[in-house]
Each structure stands twice: as structure tokens, then as C-alpha cells.
Structure 1
Amino acid sequence: MQDSDGLTIDQLLTLEAYADTIIPGEKRGPADRAIAGASTGGGAVASGAVELMLSPEGGLAGTLDSLAEGLNEHAREYTTRSGFEPEPDVPPFVALDFTDRIALAQQLLAPGHPEQELWVALAMFSAMAWDTGAHLHTSDALAAGHPGLTSMGFLPPEPDGVWRFPRFSYGRALAAIHPRTTSRGDPH
């Protein structure tokens, strides 16, 4: 069965499980297998990692089915090497315990792994979704309670919709403003 984005349910669950391995969150319910529940609050999945992966602007959308199948193939091999009993009703990557998901992700992301670039790209989309809500307008993400932005304490814009930062994030100015900087902050 395919969802509205052209991915099968197993592929979608696999991508969610990978995103949750990169930035864990809490389960959506007791039957949730994709999210391991290794953390409280919303992780990459609740932050929209799969939505970002599917965005045409990101360039991964056309490869997600293959990436999900690749993750499951690596999980099958991992399960065989580890002597685990496979679960036939669950995608292989989703069936792994969280610690085994981490171990497999570490292998795939390790320098020298022949497919490292693929898995790093997929991991980066998980991080971008949580760190920035890159698939959303920042004001909308904050208004909706985006888990990553709110967890980091990202402040909403002022009532007029403009972000002003009355205090320095490091507690001090790191550099003087260039003398030709305009009132809007543009270099001249």
C-alpha cells in the first residue's frame, strides 16, 4: 500500500525510524514502532523530517523509496550478523531496538563506508527539520509549537512580524557593526 507521497507505509515507517534515530522523540502512541520513544518531547519526526525529505526543493524526494529499501537491506544484514530473529510484519530497520538502530546508523555514517554520503544526507534532513523547521515559515513553525525551535528557545518575532534581538546571544557583541551597514542590516 502506498501513501499520498508515493511511498509505501513500510518505507514511510523506515524513514521515520531513521529520522528518530538521528534526533529521538517520544512515541505518538503505544503502538508506534517507528519512533522508539528514547526521548521526551518531539524529535525529528514531530519536527517534520519526512515532510522536509519529501519537499521538491530538497532534491531527495525521488530517491526516498530507494533509501528506505537500502536501510531495510542493511538492517536485514545487521539482524543476520547479530543473530536476531527477524520480525516479518515490521520493516527490518523499524524492528531494530533503538540501540541497534544507533549501532547500524553509526556504521552507515562512518568515514569510509561506501554509501556514507547517502546516509549523511538523510541524517542532515532530520537535523534541519529539528534545528530550523526548514520546510516551514519560521513564524508558522513557532506558532504551531515546533519542537526543535521551541526546545532551543528560539524567540518569535515581535508583534509587527520583525525579529529584533535586543541582547547578544553570547552575552556580548562579537564584532562591531560595519560603518556602511544600513538600518535594515544590509551591507552597503
Structure 2
Amino acid sequence: MTPPDRRTVLRALTATLAAMAAEGLPQPATASAAHSTTPESPPLQTLLAFADTLIPGQRRYPGDTVVAGAVTGPGAVQAGVADLLASPRLPVKPFLPAIASLLDARAVSYAAARLILLPPLQPPFTGLSFRHRTALVTGLFGPEDVDRPIWQVLSLIVGLAFDSAGSQDTPEAIRQGHAGLAWLGFPAPGQGDSWRFTEFSYGSALAGLHPRTTASGSPA
């Protein structure tokens, strides 16, 4: 099977962002990847390690080799990035193994250039320490990297998983205790699962309400 070209992968990643913007994707009601006891596939391990490098979190269990444990508190993995990436409703899912293979190939080259011995029984990228993962990922975003657009869009998806519970309806995510939203202190919705604020941002109203404004707050 011929691996997909860069343009195809990038189109799938961009289409994934568009799909997430159009509608929330329900997260499974069972335990998320942060608490799952099911072993992750090698490609998913690589992608989760990439996500943990961008938004690090604490290890999920002793001996966790995917999450480096560089910080305390939740990161992208605990916030359900695996559920988001692996959703069958997103165009990117068929291309995840190819993206992971590309990242693992970069890890092998990085390790060889620095005489780093990688563990033989785990994906190459996960075999790097957090310091080396960070150095490698930093280089992926350099202007000379031919695959930079892929990493840029993938990083946006990782950020959406943590910062906005991109795979879920926001009020429902808050009720379920979404790790990213809880860590950020995102406010809970009010009546009708809506966010309304009793104080003006500038301390006073800057303009009066237009008389034809609808009940939902939309302009007429």
C-alpha cells in the first residue's frame, strides 16, 4: 500500500478542523485514554507522546512511557486528545498511522545523530526523554521543515482537545469534569447552558441594546 502524500494528509487534517468547528463530536461515555487499561496501538502511542510534548501532563500510571510526566496536573492526553483523533467521524483517522510513522522516522534520525539508544520495544518517539522530545518537536516547526504544515495543523487539534474540549459539547464536557477546562478554570454555563455575564467588560455599557435584537441576543 502506497503511503499518502503530504498534501493528502494535510487536507485530512484541515478537514478535521472544519468538522470540529461545524459540530461537537461526542466523547465515549466509558473511561477516556487518560484512565484506559487497554494498551494503545504503537501509532497512537507516538501521537499521544507528541500531544504530551505540546501540552504536558503527569503520568497516568507508574511506568507510563507515553506521557513523560514532565509536570503535575493534566495535559493533552488527560484531556482526551486520543478520543478526538480517533473519532471515526473525523477525516484524519485513516492517516494517523502515516503521521505517526513520519514522526517516528524523525525520532530515529534525531537519535542516530546524537548517539541515543532507543528502547527496542516501544515506538521511537516515545523512547526519547521529554527534553529530547521537546527539542525534536521544536525543530519540526522550523521554516525549513518540509512537513511543517502537518505539524502545525496537528498541534491545533491537540490544543483544541485541551483548551476547548473540541470533541464534546462544552456544557456537557464541564459537567463530566473535562480535565483541560477544569484546569483552566473555564466557567460553568448558566441557565439554559448559556454563558451570560452580569458585569460589563469595561465597567459600563458602551452602547444601548438595539431595539430589534432577538431574545437570543442576535441582531435582527
TM-score computed with the length of structure 2 as normaliser: 0.75
Say which of 2, 15, 18 aligns to 2:50.
18
Distance in structure 1 (CA, Å) of the matches to 2:110 and 2:208 = 54
Residues 28-177 of structure 1 mapped to structure 2, 5 A cutoff: 28-168=60-200, 170=201, 172=203, 176=207
Equivalent residue letter for 2:51 = A
Q: Which deviations, in whole Å up to 9, do the C-alpha atoms of 1:139-185 show, x marking residues without a partner?
A: 221112112111221111225433222235x5646954662432311
Query: How many residues are aligned here?
Result: 181
The runs of at least 4 aligned residues of structure 1 exceeding 3 Å deviation read: 170-178
Higher relative contact order (CA closer than 8 Å, sequence separation 6+): 2
Equivalent residue letter for 2:97 = D
Distance in structure 2 (CA, Å) of the matches to 1:92 and 1:41 = 25
Sequence identity, in percent? 36
Map of 2:6 onto structure 1: none
SS in 2 for 1:16: helix
TM-score computed with the length of structure 1 as normaliser: 0.87
Q: What is the alpha-carbon root mean square deviation over aligned residues?
A: 2.1
Distance in structure 2 (CA, Å) of the matches to 1:151 and 1:32 = 21
Distance in structure 2 (CA, Å) of the matches to 1:177 and 1:60 = 45
Structure 2: segments with no counterpart, 5+ residues: 1-39
Worse-superposed segment, 170-179 or 41-50: 170-179
Structure 1: segments with no counterpart, 5+ residues: 1-7
Deviation (angstroms), 1:57: 4.8
Distance in structure 2 (CA, Å) of the matches to 1:172 and 1:115 = 47
Structure 1 residues 187 and 91: alpha-carbon distance in aligned structure 2, compared to 1, 3 A threshold: same
Equivalent residue letter for 2:56 = P
Distance in structure 1 (CA, Å) of the matches to 2:199 and 2:89 = 34
